[in-house]
Structure 1
């Protein structure tokens, strides 16, 4: 198996060190420390902090990509079936139409970058306890960050690829794990839960506005893990109760924004309902979120490209109630905007693009770069986890109604009440699709429920026998991504997922 060994091997790890500066809440990237070895690096607390902070840099992998829009955050939406994409990308069109294969470069990118992050977390968790000059409390919280990040990447790996190699110690050229076999999904989840429990007990702050891991992020991710493991493929239904209990404290630690604009501006990064984000800053680390999500070749903003790589289907847009604020112009979506070259002229898109990712601060920069943060976890997801988990345990409760109705009230929708358990479940799933739209949640919901959202009838159907609004019926093999072919070619112990 090719594990990017020059990066994975302890004696040759090349770090891209990312320093999170709390006063400005940004990531700053230092030059490579090419002479790093464990014997001369983990000698004090400052080095430990720098090393662990460097693991956050791998969160950028989800927005890696090229001019064709072949970026993991887009690929995940294409798998869910409610997204159209620029026709130039063969790989993206193959994903939409269920005809991609194991050599798709995106599959390898997520795999290799995730394992690189995990390898550095393993090093940190092994070496930090040995630092004699570091206070025990400081060791504990710093390791808590590493535990969370290792769990975060394994959580993505196990959901995307199923059985994956489970490696929790540093790997050298002589390690037995240099060419590992796949580990059963249940065991991988056991490790994820163990890591998150360790992070939860590490003394992390309840919330954090600098971009680092907080207790709120740990609890929300662990609740998500419990919710997922209660569904397919493990069906550990006892975990619904654990999910509800785990996420409950989060609901009072964060607050909903009163404007949707705050989800994608610079002033509100890491605040309010934003529980965990990856950090960007123009001049340091940038992304192409706006240009990837703007309609193709229309001059909205001064971006060098307008790529149309992730455009909602009309069917999905129309599935919102007409009274839903999120459906209104320049809330979650927009269909027109002033021409950047001539603001007196309005450009009509002909589609409904994602205003929730339009970044006004970078609109006039002109260098095709944005420093919009990418959100992994926010309060509405925690609220809906609580609603779904409690409903599965005991049916609709007043507390669950209160949570979902807060989300609906912000969207100017009437409160729900008096629903059966089945109808409340459907309402929660629908709210997840509409509130968390295009935030990389829908595909994972399909995996755990084996149901897809039927936008034409505003209902749910079996994922492998119900066509989506693009006329594509998902193949069963698409519940998982394929193991990257290069990994299988290099490591004879690896086997391929069914159908690939």
Structure 2
């Protein structure tokens, strides 16, 4: 199996444990102390795998913050269980507040991952490993740290920026949010250093690790997000050695992981008891579909990330990607149930709840569309920009576009990104990048009006709340979790959530 062996559980067990009594210092023999660890390449690789393990955990719920809160998806409403109304459902209905538990958990996960990356980088600085051994490990850690901050700065705006561990707990109470500009600067620094340190490829046994291409692709996206179009084009053109899969579906087929189009994907492994499986097929299947979708009876699918009517209508006639990405109904006991669902990550598997699907983070199609967008912002819809856009459309079975207007081309690229990258956690950041906060609020209010007028999924007679689908421009950022502000009163809350 081509994958990273993730040792997250092992990494979390690293600790210092000692006690002192009557001048006698003893060490718990069941634990590995940090003074004994971080001594050789194997141990540093294990620590690095621990950070990859947290990436897995972060990705498991990322759809809530990057896809679910957009016009792409909604939920299979459960009128008998309103337990999620204050948590994950709030992202669909725009009722998120600072007490939302999903945001609190997400914040903690990201900063745990950042801490682990920082700690391992510090230990590497004092190690005796040779430079050639250190470089790819440090490069991967910096790539991952940049990736985490790339999300955080877009989720929250100003965030706590830490690149080293604290010397004592009291220092945590002095942490404040750093300006976005400083966070972006650190992300660029980490990725630039990662590009210099990372190899272009790895041996087959290490496929899935961050490469030079992954660092360049993410750096190009960072520049694009900041509207640094010249830097974006220059950087993205260096992402070489990749190509589009002939078949769109091959990007999601577990039997064809880490293929020619894959620049970076989060690794999962099902079919065993190693604890590295993915469960997206179950999370995204309609609530009552059971074996009709997952293939296994006696399961309780999540009914989350349900494609909206608007998303279904976004595909052009003849677009080969539609049938790979979603279905508009399922059949249960001979009855057709008109609830759509995502099928990109639904493939046969051998053990209930343990799927083998990786999660795509960066694909070459994404790079092509980013280059088209950046060139258009610089020079309008040039032949080169149109060429990148039409490469992606050709694979989808669609005719070439011939657009001469800059604004129309921008709209076409955003539309192409929507259907090409559907349900892969790109939509929220794409909308934020291409709209002002006021424009985004207007756009999402219109989306809400559509859902209220014609819900994608029947609500079982439950009326919408008056606050559902009411968006304000301040919601371009999420609230800082209330527990963090209670712990550290030097942290400020984002405007609009006080």
Smaller-chain TM-score bracket = 0.7 to 0.9
Superposition map of 1:300-311 within 5 A: 300=292, 301-302=295-296, 304-311=299-306
RMSD: 2.2
Equivalenced residue count is: 444
Match of 1:480 among 465, 474, 477: 477
**CA-CA distance at 1:26 after TM superposition:** 4.3
One of 319, 333, 338 as aligned partner of 2:326: 333
1:106 aligns with 2:102: yes
- Contact (CA 8 Å) 2:136, 2:197: kept in 1 or not? yes
In structure 1, what is the equivalent of residue 230 of structure 2?
241
CA contact (8 A) 2:173 2:487 kept: no
- Structure 1 residue 441, shift from structure 2 partner: 1.0
Check the 8 A contact 1:463/1:473 in 2, yes or no: no
Q: Does 1:287 align with 2:278?
A: yes
Deviations 1:29-67 (A, max 9, x none): 364344444432222222122212211111123344xxx
1:69-468 to structure 2, matched below 5 A, reads: 71-87=61-77, 88=81, 89-90=84-85, 91-132=87-128, 134-174=129-169, 176-177=171-172, 179-206=174-201, 210-230=207-227, 239-250=228-239, 252-282=240-270, 283-284=273-274, 285-298=276-289, 299-300=291-292, 301-302=295-296, 304-327=299-322, 330-336=323-329, 348-360=336-348, 362=349, 364-365=350-351, 367-450=352-435, 462-466=439-443, 467-468=446-447
Cα distance in structure 2, aligned partners of 1:281 and 1:333: 23
Specify every segment of 5 or more residues in structure 2 that has no aligned partner in the other structure, as ranges: 16-30, 453-468
Give, in whole Å, the separation in 2 of the partners of 1:40 and 1:178: 30
Residue number in structure 1 paired with 2:451: 470
CA contact (8 A) 1:220 1:382 kept: yes
| CA positional deviation for 1:74 | 2.9
Name the structure 1 match of 2:458: none
Unaligned stretches of 5+ in structure 1? 1-22, 65-70, 231-238, 340-344, 453-460
CA contact (8 A) 2:4 2:49 kept: no
Summarize deviations over 1:65-120 as a string: whole Å, max 9, x none: xxxxxx33234322213312133421233222211211111111111111111111
Runs of 4+ in 1 over 4 A off after TM superposition: 206-209, 336-339
What is the DSSP-based 3-state SS (H/G/I as helix, E as strand, rest coil) of the residue aligned with 2:208? Answer: coil
The 3 A distance-change label for structure 1 pair 150 and 175 is: farther
Q: Is the 8 A contact 1:228 1:448 kept in 2?
A: yes
Equivalent residue for 2:457?
none
Greater Cα offset, 144-153 or 302-311: 302-311
2:44 maps to which of 41, 44, 48: 48
Please give the alpha-carbon distance, in whole angstroms, between the structure 1 residues aligned to 2:3 and 2:368: 26
Contact 2:64 2:91 in 1 (8 A): no
Q: Which has the larger radius of gyration?
A: 2
Contact preservation (8 Å) 1:335, 1:348: no
